[in-house]
Structure 1
Amino acid sequence: MRRSRRDNGSRDDTLQQLRDHVPHARAFAAIGGFDPAFFLYYEDDDLCLRMQEAGWRCVLQPAARALHPGGASSAPSVRTTFIKQFHYARSRQIALQRYVSG
């Protein structure tokens, strides 16, 4: 867990950080977590839409950053490009069918 400016590393600070994350864990569990139908793409859209349907609120955090250990994902190749394009198209189609065409 990342420490806040107020965090002095005490047990109380750690417990408060855990308490702050419990509602998020409850929401995630309430909607059944990640849907295995989505892979690589549209997982975040699906999570937010299912959370909204369940009465939870999703908030965009523009300052959030995702870090890949090692600094990279897959090495570029024709195979990797094909796999990414396949999963993007597949996940997009599932999302459109599920959430747009009703």
Structure 2
Amino acid sequence: MTRVPASVVAAAGLVGGYGVARLTKKRPLGGVALGAAGVVAARRWAGTVGSGKAAALTGLYVVAFAGSHPLAKKVGAWPSVLGVAGTVALASWGVERMAAHEG
């Protein structure tokens, strides 16, 4: 069974969390999706890049979520969410790739 990369889990958490909140009109449900994906991604990062880099990527995930709100006021909700999700995915991919080459 192929394991979904942490970068994909994190991006899906940001996009999916927003999507769930928007579709259901229940922000807490979106928060559950966002949080669950964040926990899965953090655990995968810890296993692949170590605890320090995992903490940094998890922090980026949280900052991306928080930053998407003011960004949405300037560019719109979906562009904001997709932009921060792409940023987190790219950062995660890069850190995971570097860690794979170090070890």
Q: TM-score, normalised by structure 1?
A: 0.31
Name the one with the larger helix percent.
2
